[in-house]
Chains A and B, each alone.
Chain A
Amino acid sequence: MSETLKGYKGDGLAVLEKFHVRIWSDAVVKTTRGEFKGIILPRSENDDDRHVVLKLITGYNVGIASETILDIKEIGYKEAHYKIPEKEFPVSPGKPNVKLLGTGGTIASRLDYRTGAVIPAFSPGELYGAVPELAEICNLSTEKLFAVFSENMGPEQYITLSKAIAREIENGIDGIVIGHGTDTMHHTASALNFMLQNSPVPVVIVGSQRSSDRPSSDAALNLIHATKTAAESDIAEVMVCMFGPTSDEYGLLHLGTRVRKMHSSYRSTFRTIGDIPIAMVSRNAITPLKDTYNRRRKDRKVTLLPYFDERVAMVYYYPNMHRDMIDSLIDNGYRGIIIAGTGLGHINKPVYPAIRRAAAEGVAVFMTVQTLWGYVHMSVYDTGRDLMAMGIIPLANMLPEVAYIKLGWALGQTSDIAKVKELMLTPVCGEITDREPFNGYLIFQGGIPEVEDFLRKYHK
């Protein structure tokens, strides 16, 4: 495909070639539906091949069906240069130094004509141009590690990222911010918790639910909150920092092993499960909600354990599941399986033989719960006792995604099943807790008068 006709194919491409015009031509298009004047824009690859896109003088875009086009004349040329204004990030000697590591979130982004979606733009200068408040908080430096959407983050990226953070810590940074897509933010957060233990400084993962190319985006405020946390807080944990309510009011700092994305699109999608968040953060203050977190230290010691075995799978149990779901994993050489079981941690009898086979063949099988909240309790019913007897190990209140990450990390270090079991059951940082506080499970039900009163009173 020629660069001058980016994104066009089929009839659309043919008509542009026929009349010798290119993308960014200011053109007059005669059609059977009348005349249109404007700049020919690139076309998104996923759109159909029967239309040409024009930007009219009013700034609107329209599509013109290629079969209606009678003639196109180029009368000028105007190529767009999309650039976030770049200003040098000011450095003040008294301010903490924060490193922003980019993985491809949409803190700052620009339009991608290839897909019609947004792609991230990223440099301290660009960020300063977009969010000048950052300069009041810290001296910011940035490094782009990868440019991937969060669904493409995986073990390789976790390892690179944890090594990069360890290096920054050793070099004396005061805090780390990681820009990340939100879909798998909690997977990365738990991976970093296991791979990077005992950090002396805050490590804050942040993103946005509304891309930064929209005025109402949560990106800027999230970034301000995250940077403030990294620069000023005494919380030396690996955390996720995202909106508390959907309102622009405060963010929450969630421990990386207890956090989960709970809504496909809400701003306040991240929630601490089975516990309360570590702290609230606003433009003006960081307000701890717990006092059991690890405190910031002056030393530069961090334990780096960058291991991961990819032969791990997670199975979300459903009624009528057959044993082949487990068998096929064993056949394909998987070494560890996390099951998200029903209720207290159950699966049906037809699967039992496969569980026995897994135990016999040295495949580690662990149980978590689909309910997300609450503990696996496999001693309450016979089913649970049977399963444990067959070799399934209950993982208390570890979240399924966290268990998946932790199992990959554990198997990356050893193939001794007993050792894996020990690693899995020894809490590293909150992935298993001794107790569930009463307010660790609060899902209010709309419609109930007192809940409605609450919603009317507070910006949620």
Chain B
Amino acid sequence: MQFAKGLKAPCPHGVRWRYSWGSIVFVIDIVVAGAGAATQGRPNGRCANIDFERLSFVLMIGCDGLIMGRVRHTFVPDGPAANDDSDWRETIGRDMQQGLTPGDNLKRTRELVGYVPRSLATPQTYQALGFKSGLEIHQQLLTKAKLFCRCPAGLYQGPGEYDAELVRHMRPTLSEMGEYDGTALMERKTKKNIIYRIKNETACTYDVDDTPPFPINREALGIAVKIALMLKLNIVGELHITRKQYLDGSIPTGFQRTAIVGIEGSIPLSTGPVRIIQLSIEEDACREVSDSGHWRVYTTDRLGMPLIETVTYPDMKTPDAVAEAAHYLRFLNRSSGLVRTGIGAGREDVNVSITGGTRVEIKGVAHIRWIPELVHNEAFRQKALLTIKSILAERISDPNAWKVSVSEVDAGGLNTDYAPILHAQQLGQRIVAVTLPKFAGLMSFFTQPGHMFADELAGRLKVIACLERPNMLHSEEAGPVERKAFEVCAASGSTAESNSEDAVVVVWGASEDVTTAIETIEERCRMAMGMGVPNETRKSLPDGTTIFERVLPGPDRMYPDTDSAPIPIEQDVIDACGLDLPASVEDQMAQLGEWRIPRDTYHYLLKRRLVGLIGRIAAEFQCRPRFVGTLLGHTLKHAEGKFGASQKFDIERIYELFAFASERKLEWAILPSLLTTAYQFPAMPFESVLAAVGYTPIPAERISARAAVLQEQFERIRTSPDPGARARWIMGQLRPDALGNMPLPELRSMIESVAAHV
């Protein structure tokens, strides 16, 4: 067997060899367990020639990046062989005292978690994790006015453009069922000042919660019912406006007015049906301008715009299936022709969980193409947190008795050049060292690519304690600067209570915020022991990872809107909305298949709602649908990519272009050139477009006649022995003349027949 390259790396109390053979990876660890004492003071990895109590060999076999199995054999002198990987876990943290760097710990824990990049993951990877994902698709509706007031919808204010500001705070209130929501209680701790920037044109006293709601926008409700019918949902008899609490300030009332239009349906995906939970109509939230410390700023232009939210069951079992479902729902919404398009008009929230994990919501994903990477990483983040949980379960016998200990650091006496600490010193802020008993080795525990468990704490400190990042230092910092700064602080704070089994976190800030920070750290660590994966809403980052946004709200945040009476949805309304429903996405895809249009065009054709146009052109001008579909799906898409999609090009011009070509009896083959030019110059008359692509009318006989001349010419200049070269060269010479005058296949067969006579 030929191994590509054996990679040798130190591993805890031993040596690791990694071999890859094709896509199969073998990892062999030689672990000298119990050697902690024996190797004290020695460079890591030196394990030869020492007496051992136990010697373990671990063989890990992976395929396609997935660790398929791990075989361990442990030699124990005069004892039975053990067969588990608990000592793997046991070593974490302990070896950090013996020189294992946090960077190495990160790599090692990444392996322990079994993380593989998405490119190497297979459906089995996700099956093994117990991956489940559901979607919430938000789609703005194309209406003139907002949902509960008569402000114009779709007008946005530029940066720094506003007429007035006002400040509010949010307090949690009870749900209808008499409970406080978890998010609500978290937001109470954060003590944020919320600033709204108002523009008179786009916001009224309703938007800033100084006037009760006006009757619901019937235009928006009609669109929502229509799309609910397209999804074949059960339409409710009566719309009940409900308040969904949002204490982050994104809505000045502190809640979003929302109502269920329909429930229970399903959409067909290539991997099987995905069930729909519900479709609701709701008002959009403010746009966030900034969020720093205790101040969060929003603009109110987008606030109150009507949107629908379609929620699926967690029926998607792979990241690609999530993206497919998102595309399907997006196409369906767009096929109504009654929704907004463009940046921010459609947004996705993605829910992810794995076996033993918890539902985590990744919020406001702007592009569907980002979804697969985000959910992949979230699945492994949950796996990592569950691994941490099991390690803690072994270390801590009574989690209820676990608590942090805090020591004040003498801020003035610190001698450091670490900028954030210097800044804290200048402001006379409070600095504390928080000891997390038994957490050694976990701060630098892998959670997501480029992230470790310490980031879970830092993320919460930013949101809950309002401490801007960098907002903490910890005992397993990878960077030398941070490491040094941490040591200075830890030495000053009397962390005498902490020992090698513990981790230490240093935080600084205003005294009250530091108190909140300590509570936040303790709470997050308890969650690591308890539920393992906390219920969270997380914000997506462009690199496919996520950060903490807030505690995931539950049904307890729902409350009936006492300002609005229920609105009956009578059968005649449903009948009227159901009159002119567009073909379903499923039917449109079937149609494209029937027309034998290339699959790679489907996405574009559905997104731009071009399926109907293909049918119209094909029927009207006796043209093959496959040709029209390819023209739109390839040529038009290419032109958009080249000249920009923002061109003022009316799609209806394509129909007119076909009419023009038909009237002028042009051969269809010229249409790609015409379309490209017509797209580039949207106002140019078709006659000029025709001239611009170099068309002159030439009768087919004249072209045939030229073929004979070229035939002779080719013989004189011929350099290639390839028998097909002649026909190709002549074709190349005649193509510009033939384009529009004769069908290209006809030209080719004519040239070939001429060539055959030579």
Instruction: Name A residues whose Cβ lies closer than 8 Å to a Cβ of B.
Output: 31, 33-36, 44, 46-48, 50-51, 53, 55-65, 68, 80-85, 110-111, 116-118, 130, 209-217, 220-221, 245-249, 263, 265-267, 446, 452, 455-456, 459-460
A213 touches B211 (CB 8 A): no
CB–CB A210/B209 < 8 A:
yes
Q: Which residue of B lies closest to A51 (CB)?
A: B238
Instruction: List the A side residues contacting B278 at CB < 8 Å.
Output: 56, 58, 60
B354 contacts partner chain A, Cβ-Cβ < 8 Å: no
CA A36 to CA B253, docked complex, whole Å: 30
How many angstroms between the C-alpha atoms of A248 and B252 in the bound complex?
12
Pick the residue among A59, A62, A81, A214 that contacts B238 (CB under 8 A).
A62
Which residues in A have their C-beta under 8 angstroms from that of B168? 216, 247-248
B560 at the interface (CB under 8 A from A): yes
Give residues of chain B (260-315) contacting chain A, Cβ–Cβ below 8 Å.
260, 263-264, 277-278, 280, 311
Residues of A within 8 A of B243 (CB): 214
* Chain B neighbourhood of A111, CB < 8 A: 176, 559-560, 562
Do A214 and B210 contact each other (CB < 8 Å), given the known contacts A57-B555, A61-B240, A62-B238?
no
- List 23 contacting pairs A-B, 8 Å CB cutoff, sorted by A: A31-B234, A34-B234, A47-B566, A55-B176, A56-B260, A56-B278, A58-B555, A61-B240, A62-B237, A62-B263, A65-B238, A80-B177, A81-B178, A111-B559, A211-B562, A213-B174, A215-B171, A246-B208, A265-B211, A265-B212, A266-B211, A456-B163, A459-B165
B240 contacts across to A, CB distance below 8 A: 53, 60-63
**Chain A's nearest CB lies how many Å from the CB of B199?**
11
Question: CA–CA, A231 to B259, complex, Å?
Answer: 44
Given contacts A33-B237, A55-B177, A58-B278, 7 further A-B contacts (CB under 8 A): A34-B264, A50-B568, A58-B311, A65-B568, A216-B170, A267-B210, A460-B164
B554 within 8 A of A: yes
Annotate B415-439 by CB proximity to A: 1 below 8 A, 0 otherwise: 0000000000000000000000000
Which residue of A36, A44, A59, A456 contacts B164 across the interface (Cβ within 8 Å)? A456
Complex Cα distance A80/B560, Å? 14
Contact partners of A50 in chain B: CB under 8 A: 568
B residues in contact with A48, CB < 8 Å: 566, 568
A212/B173 in contact, CB under 8 A: yes
8 Å CB contact of B255 from A51, A215, A456:
A215
Tell me the bound Cα distance from A202 to B516 in angstroms.
36
Contact A215:B173 (CB < 8 A) given known A33-B237, A50-B568, A58-B278: yes
Chain A nearest Cβ from B53, distance in angstroms: 55
In-complex Cβ contact of B167 among A80, A247, A446 (8 A): A247
In the complex, the answer to whether A34 meets B263 with C-beta atoms within 8 Å is: yes
A35: shortest Cβ distance to chain B, in Å? 7
Would you call A61 and B178 a contact (CB within 8 A)?
A: no
Contact surface of B with A, Cβ cutoff 8 Å:
162-178, 180, 184, 195, 200, 205, 208-212, 233-240, 242-245, 247, 252-255, 258-260, 263-264, 277-278, 280, 311, 554-560, 562, 565-566, 568
Contact residues of A: prevailing secondary structure: loop
A57 CA to B260 CA, complexed, in Å? 12
- Residues of chain A within 8 A (CB-CB) of B557 are 59
User: Do A47 and B177 have beta carbons less than 8 Å apart?
Assistant: no
Residue in A57, A65, A118, A460 whose CB lies within 8 Å of B237 = A65
Contacts of A263 in B (CB 8 A): 210
Q: How far is the CA of A36 from the CA of B236 in the complex (A)?
A: 9
The 8 Å CB contact of B173, one of A33, A55, A213, A459, is A213
Q: A36-B234, A50-B568, A266-B210 are in contact. Are A456 and B162 (CB under 8 A)?
A: yes
Least CB distance, A450 to chain B, in whole angstroms: 13
B162: chain A residues at CB < 8 Å are: 456
- Distance between B221 CB and nearest chain A CB, rounded to angstroms: 14
A217–B170 CA distance with the chains assembled, in angstroms: 8
Which single member of B178, B233, B245 contacts A215 (CB below 8 Å)? B245
A85 B180 Cβ-Cβ under 8 A:
yes
Given the interface pairs A31-B237, A460-B164, the reply to whether A60 lies near B562 with Cβ below 8 Å is no
Distance (Å) between the CB of A121 and the closest chain B CB?
9
- Give every chain A residue within 8 A of B264 (Cβ-Cβ): 34-35
**Which 10 pairs from chain A and chain B are nearest by CB?**
A63-B238, A215-B254, A34-B234, A59-B555, A59-B558, A65-B237, A82-B178, A61-B240, A216-B254, A62-B236
CB distance B242 to A60 under 8 Å? yes
Q: Which residue of A lies closest to B555 (CB)?
A: A59
In the bound assembly, the distance between CA atoms of A266 and B247 in angstroms comes to: 21
The smallest C-beta distance from A407 to any residue of chain B, in angstroms, reads 34
Closest CB in chain A relative to B556 CB, distance in Å? 7
Q: Do the beta carbons of B242 and A61 come within 8 Å of each other?
A: yes
Are the CB atoms of A83 and B258 closer together than 8 Å? no
Contact A62 B170 (CB under 8 A): no
Asked if A248 and B562 sit within 8 Å, CB to CB, the answer is no
Contacts A62-B240, A63-B568, A215-B171 given: A246-B260 contact, CB under 8 Å?
no
Say yes or no: A248 contacts B237, CB within 8 Å.
Answer: no
Determine whether the beta carbon of A213 is less than 8 Å from that of B559.
Answer: yes
State the Cβ distance, A457 to closest chain B Cβ, in Å: 9
Within the complex, the shortest CB–CB distance from A339 to chain B, in Å, comes to 32
CB distance from A69 to the nearest CB of B (A): 9
Assess the A60–B258 pair: CB atoms within 8 A.
yes
Residues in A with CB closer than 8 Å to B200 are: 446
- Asked if B166 and A216 make an inter-chain contact with CB atoms under 8 angstroms apart, the answer reads no
The CA of A249 and the CA of B280, in the complex, are separated in Å by: 35
Measured CA separation A456–B166 after assembly (Å): 9
Given A50-B568, A59-B242, A246-B166: A36 and B558 within 8 A (CB)?
Answer: no
Residue in B167, B263, B566 whose CB lies within 8 Å of A36: B263
Alpha-carbon distance A62/B205, docked complex (angstroms): 28
Contacts of A221 in B (CB 8 A): 169
Give chain A residues whose Cβ lies under 8 Å from the Cβ of B195: 459
Q: Provide the residues of chain A in CB contact with B169, threshold 8 Å.
A: 221, 248
What residue in chain A is nearest B570 (Cβ atoms)?
A65
B242 x A82 contact (CB < 8 A): no
CA A419 – CA B754 in complex, angstroms?
A: 127
Closest to B259 in A: A60
CB neighbours of B560 from chain A (8 A) = 61, 111, 116
CA–CA, A82 and B180, complex, Å: 10
Do residues B280 and A60 form an inter-chain contact, with CB atoms below 8 A? Answer: yes
Instruction: State how many angstroms separate the Cβ of A65 from the closest Cβ of chain B.
Output: 3
Which residues of B are found within 8 Å of A46, using beta-carbon distances?
A: 565
Contact B205 A265 (CB under 8 A): yes
User: In the complex the two chains form, is A265's CB within 8 Å of B167's CB?
Assistant: no
B260 touches A452 (CB 8 A): no
Across-interface contacts of A63 in B (CB, < 8 A):
236-240, 566, 568
Q: Contacts A117-B562, A248-B169 given: A455-B163 contact, CB under 8 Å?
A: yes
Asked if B173 and A214 sit within 8 Å, CB to CB, the answer is yes
B516 to chain A, nearest CB (A): 15
Q: Chain B residues with Cβ under 8 A from A265's Cβ? A: 205, 210-212
B167 touching A459 by the CB < 8 A rule? yes
CA distance A34 to B264 in the complex (A): 8
